[in-house]
């Protein structure tokens, strides 16, 4: 049963939300000690919510009635801790609901707990959590990807129906690929960022991770829409899953961007191309000449924004406070020491890139490169309806394998970061396996607000 079928049965009264939630909690308690995907189960509030849904009259129950959804630990749910998997916010309780949480509650989704992540969403393996790494449910020696690794592992292991992640450079799509599930980074501005702890505001988007394709579209529909509380929220209407006639649609493959692609992933990409061609899709060669610069551009821009966004964690207003601190400088030194090494690295890189001596060479240059990359996609979508590429340069790697090799870890975002840089939507979907039996994720990029086409094309490849 997918989530929409579950919700339909809860609405009709055939299933009780309370029973469903109790079963989910048992399952999470059984699996989580192995996986470390959840940092906390919201047992009391989830059960109270479930009872309230069961008490409603059937016609007033929402579209996600009784469906258990997990929140990444950087999304605010009033009265609950949102720690960003950081010691800095270990005990921080959200004073209000994120807009996406309001949307979930309105549709009677059950918010079952908060999931582990890379600290402040910085990472590609979930090894940067202050509360221990998450294990990939398909192979416990391997990473689930990051930074939304807890959300991906929770869905892939069947602990929940759906989870929310956030994606600044690939943090929904890369873990989805590593765990064999669906994840979308929606068009920038289509899902409100109000109540999402900011990493890099110009790139962050919340989005759904699900095991089922239809559920993914349903959840995006619930989450999206204009929000006056987010100044970057688009004025477009909320996303609606719609019938799209796929025959005759054009897909571009950016060969110049896919040089040196891992041969096993290339073979799967070719298989998907053949599969789609047989279903009436027309393929074209396209060029994305600047996309290969997305990773360096991404790390300059997002670290710059992060250094500014994370300046608020000064020990005075939010989070950790060392009471032995003397003067202001001592307090900064002691309180901000609570950040983990990756977060400190990004703050230093960002502060450097924004400094008056270097801004011209780094931050401002990266802004120019961002425009060139965006223009690559604007041009491509004049020619084609979607772009097909891998989600990741490799499949799930072993825990610890890349700990000493930051550059290779940063390059995990090679194929995902361009979507955040350009603002366009991209859907990661499972297709095929490598020789170790690990899932391979492919990715469809679309034009601004053209998510419906991506879902329709992925549907053709659904196994
Ligand atoms: N892996 C990327 C990083 O480390 C992406 C993170 C994200 O999308 N939040 O920054």
Residue 91: predicted pLDDT: 94
Closest CA to 170 of 146, 196, 150, 187: 146
Q: Separation of 169 CA from ligand 1 center, angstroms?
A: 5
CA triplet 4, 139, 413: central angle to 5 degrees? 75
Q: Which of 113, 136, 169 is nearest to 295 (CA)?
A: 169
Max Cα distance, the chain (Å): 70
Residue written as token pair 């400190």: 344
Q: Is the CB of 167 under 6 A from ligand 1?
A: yes
Inter-residue contact 310 to 343 (CB < 8 Å)? yes
- Tell me the CA–centroid distance for residue 409 and ligand 1, in Å: 10
Phi, psi (5° rounding) for residue 63?
Answer: -70, -20
- pLDDT beyond 80 at 463: no
Query: Alpha helices, DSSP H only, in 310-426?
Result: 328-335, 341-354, 363-383, 406-410, 417-422
Instruction: Using alpha carbons, select from 178, 207, 158, 169 the residue that is nearest to residue 441.
Output: 178
Residue 309, pLDDT above cutoff 90: yes
**Which range is least confidently modeled, 3-12, 266-275, 315-324?**
315-324
What's the rounded mean pLDDT across residues 184-195? Answer: 98
What is the distance in A from the centroid of ligand 1 to the CA of 461? 27
Per-residue pLDDT reduced to its tens digit, 25-46: 999 999 999 999 999 999 999 9
Tell me the C-alpha distance between 268 and 434, whole Å: 9
Per-residue model confidence (pLDDT) at position 315: 85
Closest atom of ligand 1 to 170 CA is 8
Closest residue by Cα to atom 10, ligand 1, is: 122
Tell which one of 74, 122, 415 to mutate to probe ligand 1, the residue whose CB is within 8 A of the most ligand atoms: 122
Options 86, 147, 148, 304, the catalytic residue: 147
Q: What is the pLDDT of residues 336-352, one digit of tens each?
A: 999 999 999 999 999 99
State both tokens at 411. 């390059």
Asked whether 171 lines ligand 1 (CB < 6 A), one says yes
For residue 126 the two structure tokens come to 């979930």
Which among 437, 424, 416, 454 has a CA at the least distance from the CA of 276?
A: 454
Residue 281 has pLDDT above 80, yes or no: yes
pTM: 0.98
Confirm whether 148 is a catalytic residue: no
For residue 57, name the pLDDT band (cuts at 50, 70, 90).
very high
pLDDT band of residue 280 (cuts 50, 70, 90) is: very high
**Where is pLDDT greater, at 332 or 309?**
309
Cα-to-centroid distance, 123 and ligand 1 (Å):
5
- Reply yes or no on whether the pLDDT at 415 is more than 80: yes
Choosing from 129, 148, 157, 171, the catalytic residue is 171
- Phi first, then psi: what are they for 74, rounded to 5°? -110, 15
Let me know if 72 is a catalytic residue. yes
The per-residue pLDDT of the chain, averaged, comes to: 97
Mean pLDDT of 207-212: 98
Residue 63 has pLDDT above 80, yes or no: yes
Rounded distance from Cα 174 to ligand 1 centre (Å): 9
Catalytic, 78? Answer: no
Q: pLDDT at position 318, please?
A: 84
């Amino acid at each position: 049963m997918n989530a929409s079928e579950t919700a339909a049965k809860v609405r009709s009264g055939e299933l009780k939300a309370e029973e469903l939630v109790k079963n989910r909690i048992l399952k999470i308690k059984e699996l989580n000690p192995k996986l470390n995907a959840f940092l906390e189960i919201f047992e009391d509030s989830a059960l109270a919510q479930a009872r309230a849904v069961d008490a409603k009259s059937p016609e007033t129950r929402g579209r996600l009635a009784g469906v258990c959804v997990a929140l990444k630990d950087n999304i605010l749910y009033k009265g609950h801790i949102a720690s960003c998997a950081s010691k800095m916010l270990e005990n921080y309780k959200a004073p209000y609901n994120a807009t996406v949480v309001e949307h979930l509650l309105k549709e009677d989704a059950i918010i079952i707990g908060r999931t582990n992540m890379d600290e402040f969403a910085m990472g590609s393996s979930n090894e940067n959590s202050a509360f221990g790494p998450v294990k990939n449910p398909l192979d416990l020696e391997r990473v689930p990807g990051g930074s939304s690794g807890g959300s991906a592992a929770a869905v892939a292991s069947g602990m929940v129906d759906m989870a929310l992640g956030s994606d600044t450079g690939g943090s929904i799509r890369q873990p989805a690929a590593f765990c064999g599930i669906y994840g979308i980074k929606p068009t920038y501005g289509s899902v409100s960022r109000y109540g999402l702890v900011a990493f890099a505001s110009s790139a962050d988007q919340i989005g759904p991770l699900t095991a089922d394709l239809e559920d993914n579209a349903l959840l995006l529909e619930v989450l999206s829409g204009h929000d006056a509380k987010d100044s970057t929220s688009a004025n477009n209407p909320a996303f609606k899953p719609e019938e799209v006639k796929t025959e005759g649609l054009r897909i571009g493959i950016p060969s110049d961007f896919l040089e040196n692609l891992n041969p096993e992933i290339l073979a799967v990409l070719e298989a998907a191309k053949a599969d789609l061609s047989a279903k009436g899709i027309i393929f074209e060669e396209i060029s994305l000449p600047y996309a290969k610069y997305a990773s360096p551009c991404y790390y300059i821009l997002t670290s710059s924004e992060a250094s500014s966004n994370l300046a608020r964690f000064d020990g005075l207003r939010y989070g950790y406070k060392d009471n032995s601190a003397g003067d202001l400088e001592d307090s900064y030194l002691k309180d901000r020491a609570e950040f983990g090494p990756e977060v400190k690295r990004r703050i230093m890189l960002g502060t450097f890139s924004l400094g008056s001596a270097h801004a011209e060479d780094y931050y401002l240059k990266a802004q120019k490169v961002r425009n060139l990359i965006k223009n690559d996609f604007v041009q491509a979508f004049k020619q084609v309806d979607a772009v097909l590429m891998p989600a990741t340069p490799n499949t799930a790697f072993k825990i610890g394998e890349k700990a000493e090799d930051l550059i290779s870890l940063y390059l995990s975002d090679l194929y995902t970061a361009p979507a955040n840089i350009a603002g366009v939507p991209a859907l990661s979907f499972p297709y095929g396996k490598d020789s170790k039996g690990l899932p391979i994720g492919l990715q469809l990029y679309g034009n601004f607000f053209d998510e419906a086409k991506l879902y329709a094309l992925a549907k053709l490849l659904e196994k």
